[in-house]
Amino acid sequence: MTNDGVFDAHVAQTYDKQHGNTDHTVIEQTVDVLVDLAAEGTALEFAIGTGRIALPLAAKGVPVQGNELSEAMVAQMRLKPGGEEIPVAVGDMTTLRSAGEFSLVYLVFNTLDNLTTQAAQVACFENAAGHLRPGGRFLVETQVPPLQRLPVGETHLAFDAGPNHWGMDEIDVVTQTYHSHHLWLREDGPESLSVPFRYAWPAEMDLMARIAGLSLEHRWGDWTRAPFTKDSRSHISVWRKPDEAP
């Protein structure tokens, strides 16, 4: 199945500028962690997008493959230096299988939340585990649900209020779903976009990992591998597949 959905040609063309974290320091930190976890093996990126992480990771010598639901996002990656050289399968990361076994499967930048049901998120963990060699790792980077900052009974939480961009999350605490609403003010008129998500707590992800036969190895607060604390707004979690099947 392929479906550009929210990430159509227009969004793909503007994704790096408007949505992707293109901070070079963060990208370097991210790639350094992934190189270590790949342990001289091969890596598979779920939701490879425009190649923001895969391209510099490949430049570090790690063989990288990817999958991606949006053909438009892959097309943008193909326009970048080295983008034609990375194998990408187009399809759903909950079911799509890539050939071979990998030392590392990774899913970054809150993309797990794009799967809007618990069943889909569990299937993603199971699919990742199915791609791993014994001893391989699955890494997820995503936000900690921002409910500590949401007043009781409220449903909206602003995350950006700049001169040209307003951003607000609309949160349903019953279903653990939310929509991120964006409004850009441009010279040629306003532009809006709403993206649906589902949040999960780190502890819930640990259960998803256990269902998939994985166990927690690391949990950091950011890409510097700082400790994960009660004040962390995001987490990088790494689960490992057993060295030998039980």
| pTM score, whole prediction | 0.94
CATH code at position 136: 3.40.50.150
Q: Are residues 73 and 161 in the same domain?
A: no
Tell me, yes or no, whether 82 lies in a domain: yes
Tell me, yes or no, whether 80 lies in a domain: yes
Q: Are residues 152 and 225 in the same domain?
A: no
* Boundaries of domain holding 111: 9-145+201-240
Tell me, yes or no, whether 101 lies in a domain: yes
Q: Are residues 27 and 129 in the same domain?
A: yes
Tell me what pLDDT residue 121 has: 98
Tell me, yes or no, whether 124 lies in a domain: yes
Determine contact, residues 41/133, Cβ cutoff 8 Å: yes
Q: Are residues 119 and 205 in the same domain?
A: yes
Does the pLDDT value for residue 5 go beyond 80? Answer: no
Tell me, yes or no, whether 3 lies in a domain: no
Q: Are residues 81 and 172 in the same domain?
A: no
Tell me what pLDDT residue 1 has: 38
Q: Binning pLDDT at 50, 70 and 90, where does residue 2 land?
A: very low
Tell me what pLDDT residue 245 has: 57
Tell me, yes or no, whether 226 lies in a domain: yes
- What is the count of structural domains for the chain? 2
Tell me, yes or no, whether 246 lies in a domain: no
Tell me, yes or no, whether 245 lies in a domain: no
Q: Are residues 112 and 166 in the same domain?
A: no
Determine contact, residues 147/171, Cβ cutoff 8 Å: yes
Q: Are residues 105 and 136 in the same domain?
A: yes
**Digit-coded pLDDT (tens) for 8-60:** 888 888 888 776 667 899 999 999 999 999 999 999 999 999 999 999 999 99
Q: Are residues 96 and 171 in the same domain?
A: no
Q: Are residues 58 and 162 in the same domain?
A: no
**Digit-coded pLDDT (tens) for 65-117:** 999 999 999 999 999 999 999 999 999 999 999 999 999 999 999 999 999 99
Q: Are residues 32 and 98 in the same domain?
A: yes
Q: Are residues 141 and 77 in the same domain?
A: yes
- The residue ranking higher by pLDDT, 3 or 82, is 82
Q: Are residues 98 and 214 in the same domain?
A: yes
**Burial grade of 138 (CB within 10 A; 0-12, 13-18, 19 or more):** buried
How many angstroms separate the Cα of 54 from the Cα of each of 80, 98, 113?
Answer: 11, 16, 20
Q: Binning pLDDT at 50, 70 and 90, where does residue 7 land?
A: confident
Give the pair of three-digit tokens for residue 106: 């990774």
Strand bridging mode 102-107 / 132-143:
parallel
Strand bridging mode 215-220 / 234-240:
antiparallel
Q: Binning pLDDT at 50, 70 and 90, where does residue 122 land?
A: very high
Tell me what pLDDT residue 12 has: 85
**Digit-coded pLDDT (tens) for 146-168:** 999 999 999 999 999 999 999 99
